[in-house]
Structure 1
């Protein structure tokens, strides 16, 4: 299998530089992770940090198929990217770490835990709960926003409840390793509620197999197994991630007996920010202070 991506080196001459591997979120994410990575990449380069990002398996110029992979497979891809960046003569190998956004946070936590040579890891809007719990939270938030306040009539409330009940049946079907035809029978029997399209409008057999394989991933063992400093960013108004529950999980893992003394945890919650750490009405740009907090922490480590 071949991964394709882009390597950015700071323009200024000087000694060997630190580096970061950017790992994108769920779905068919490329090296830019839609529009999220380019401003992050530019900021890191301007701060003197080398940056490598890549197309997920089967996306862009990368071979393979992410839907046929496990999170462990995706972590192996991230680890290979890390080794490539560390092999560059302009980069100080022992100062290269991971930045994982959303699902990419699960990926880099798994990759970092499997290695003894990590200086640090950064997660961005990474749920501390399982995919099944996180996606139910996101679906419920979407359904609530679709019928806000007093405008939500009895029929709309019933539709939302039916949609969430169908979601729960699909999760249980996944735990029984039900095939795609069985899953679609459940959807058809529920009348194909339109709200479910937010969960997966593009569902096919390959995606169903990937989702049921991933749905009960528990990030706690990887959090406990970390042996390096961890910076975790969250947006306080993230509609996709249960932030309070995620913070509870991170705190509980931090207090587990046997956790490495090197595995310090720094949490930054930007109160008004969303899943991509943007403010309402702020366009695609990051919230003020976000990128500065990131580079300041990286320089300290």
Structure 2
């Protein structure tokens, strides 16, 4: 059985915070390719729970250096993600990109960005702000967090076999919560809404004042304008059975952005949907990586870099 590549603990600065992460480099020959991996929502660490290590192992074995890091305020990183904006998180991703590019043997034009779920919004914003040779979004919704979360909640209600009346009531509660955020209500003012939603307290069970403020800032973020501003190729990966993301709508929205007359000609879109795969592109109840997922990642990265020519 293959083992995880021997990692190196690293630290780098992004504005006022110090981020801690893991860098893994192929143990052979000259290193040129590299990828920064950005985790999903909440308190995601450098491994994004257990999701990143097998991806990192495969990429490093394919000759691609990988850097992933603890989100600000998580693990060994300073700061607090709940006090941040998506612009702040995008700045962290760009700081990681600069750090990896500065490592011996790395070629600036062959180090790109990978973002999972919410991390996809982050890397799209980062790539739109600064030069990146390519960007990969993995299970990244093409719509706002508010719309995506409503879809996920509706699916959770269906899985629970909730009655139509209960489902409608919970979704109405959710819509009221979103409206409260848009009206900039404070946490104390919306606390009663959480009490009313007791059948699905797990969905918002960790809500506190800090998280509520973060949620308000994020809920109407639209990734399409960032997609329109891309100046590099974009690979959008989805699991066909993802119950958290409206996959068909996301493909449509990213596709419409790619067809926009103002889109930079370098910003070619590739979409890969893996049938039967979940939010982490896994099958068999989440126990197996979807066939072809890992090979698609490495092949696409190397193909993009080979087209760049000598650096």
Match of 2:11 in 1: none
Which of 245, 249, 255 is residue 245 of structure 1 equivalent to?
249
Match of 1:272 among 276, 279, 283: 276
The equivalent residue for 1:84 is: 99
What's 2:224 paired with?
220
Moved beyond 4 Å, runs of 4+: none
What are the residue-to-residue correspondences of 1:1-301 with 2, within 5 Å? 1-12=17-28, 14-115=29-130, 117-147=131-161, 156-188=163-195, 190=196, 192-195=197-200, 197-281=201-285, 283=287, 285-301=288-304
Consecutive unaligned residues in structure 2, runs of 5 or more: 1-16, 305-311
Distance 2:232 2:96 in 1: 19
Take 1:101 and 1:123, find their aligned partners in 2: how far apart are those partners?
A: 6
Instruction: State the superposition RMSD in angstroms.
Output: 1.0
Does the 8 Å CA contact 2:141/2:247 hold for their aligned counterparts?
yes
Distance 1:101 1:223 in 2: 16
Q: CA deviation at 1:94?
A: 1.6
Q: Secondary structure of 1:168's match?
A: helix
Q: Is the Cα–Cα contact under 8 Å of residues 163 and 193 in structure 1 kept in the other structure?
A: no
Moved more, 232-241 or 91-100: 91-100
Q: TM-score with structure 1 length normalisation?
A: 0.94
Q: What is the aligned length?
A: 288
SS in 1 for 2:108: strand
Counterpart of 1:2 in 2: which secondary structure?
A: strand
Cα separation, 2, equivalents of 1:201 and 1:162: 18
Alpha-carbon separation, structure 2, partners of 1:142 and 1:258: 38
Deviations 1:87-109 (A, max 9, x none): 00132222000000000000000
The structural deviation recorded for 1:64 is 0.4
1:275 is displaced (CA, Å) by 0.2
In structure 2, C-alpha distance between the alignment counterparts of 1:247 and 1:282, rounded to whole Å? 22
Partner Cα distance (2:286, 2:291) in 1: 10
CA distance in 2, matches of 1:235, 1:15: 34
In the aligned structure 2, how far is the partner of 1:85 from the partner of 1:292? 22
Q: CA deviation at 1:199?
A: 2.3
* Partner Cα distance (2:177, 2:81) in 1: 21
Instruction: Name the SS of the counterpart of 1:216 in structure 2.
Output: coil
Q: Distance in 2 between matches of 1:126 and 1:169?
A: 25
CA distance in 2, matches of 1:16, 1:290: 23
Residue-by-residue CA offset, 1:214-245 (whole Å, 9 max, x unaligned): 00000010000000000010000000000011
| TM-score, scaled relative to structure 2 | 0.91
